[in-house]
Structure formats: structure tokens, C-alpha cells
Structure 1
Amino acid sequence: MPALFLALAISSEICATISLKYSHGFTRLLPSVIVVIGYVASFALLSQALKHIPVSTAYAIWSGAGTAVVAAIGFAFLGEGVNVWKAFGIALIIAGVVALNLGGAAHS
């Protein structure tokens, strides 16, 4: 169940972040409402996951996965440019999350 809470927290954060772009500085109502609801839901779900997952691991997964997915959405669907350095940065984020998980698994 903690992994489900974390996955839902990540999904909520991704939806909120993408909606933030479409809120145009909170001047559009529907995307602005989605931003607020998405971030509140994300933090509420993350707090539930933290009852069973160490904060270093949960936060790294939450922020890293969110960052990587939002970047990929930006590259694939929002017309944002991608280059070798951006791809390398995303790979480093993923590697960092994997490393924290491997380190946490050894101490569990």
C-alpha cells in the first residue's frame, strides 16, 4: 500500500505541474484549480507513504520520478527542446533514485 500511495502522489504532482504551465500565472481558473488540488493531494498521499517508507527514499522517488516524467512530457508533447545535456541530466536523476533505493534496500 505505501508504494501505491507514493505512485499516486507522483501522479498527482505530475498533473499539478503540467497544469501549472496551462494556468498562465494562475489567470485561468480550471488549470489553477487542478494545480492546487493536485499539489494538496500529492502531499497528502506522500505523507501516507512516509508512514512506511524512509523519507530519503520516498522523497527521492517522488521528486526524481516527477522531474523525469514532467521533462519527458515537455520534450514529447509541449515542444520543449531536448539535447544531450538535458537527456544526461534526466539520466543522472534516474540513476540517483536507483542508487538511493539500492542503498536503502541494503539497510532495511
Structure 2
Amino acid sequence: MTKWKAARRARALTVVAAAVTSLVGVLPAAASSAADDGPGADSRLPHRGYVCDRVEHDRGAGVGSGDCRAVRTPRHGHVRDAFVIESRRTHYRVVCTSKRGHVSGYANLPKWVRGASCHRA
């Protein structure tokens, strides 16, 4: 292989690697939006939620922070009904639900999302 062919191949592999790397953030969001599409899927998990860089869970509250993306949920304000907060890198998830007469969370995207009455999924 000549130097020219080697350089061209290296550039092509770099482009492919960049494309694959850019899809890494998209795949968890697509997976969480299609959580109940197939047979045998866990019907307890909602079809909607948030994908963030970090997720923390402590004493029933869940917080996602850092470049959060919404999947069929509001980007700002109160969040009603059950939703998921998932970590983009580690796939750590918490499911947040609402108590009767209360909201289940609050979103301020892309900075953070907070959920009440959360448990690890």
C-alpha cells in the first residue's frame, strides 16, 4: 500500500469513527423511547423520559444533569406522570412517579431535571 492510499484510508476511518461517536448520545434516547416496542418488554417503565450526562439518586429523589435531552417530555417546567432519567454513559436509570395530586418532577433543560418519588430501574 502506498503512502497516498494509507493516508486516504486513515481519513476514511477517521470519518467513520467520528460518525459512530456522534451516535453514542443518540442511541440511549432512541432505546428509551422504544422501551416497550417488542414482546417481553418491561411494561412498568414509561415510554418517556430524559437522557443526561449524570444521574444521581438519593432518598427517593432523582436528578439528571449535564446536557439533558427530552424524549416525549417537557423541556421546561413541571413534569406530570411517570418518567425515566437515564445516564448517557453508564445507562444508570431511575423511574420517577407522581404521588396523588403532585407533579412527578421539574425540568430545566439542557441543564438539569429533577424527579420526586424515584427508584432505581
Tell me, yes or no, whether TM beats 0.5.
no
Query: Is the strand fraction higher in 1 or 2?
Result: 2
TM superposition score normalised by structure 1:
0.30
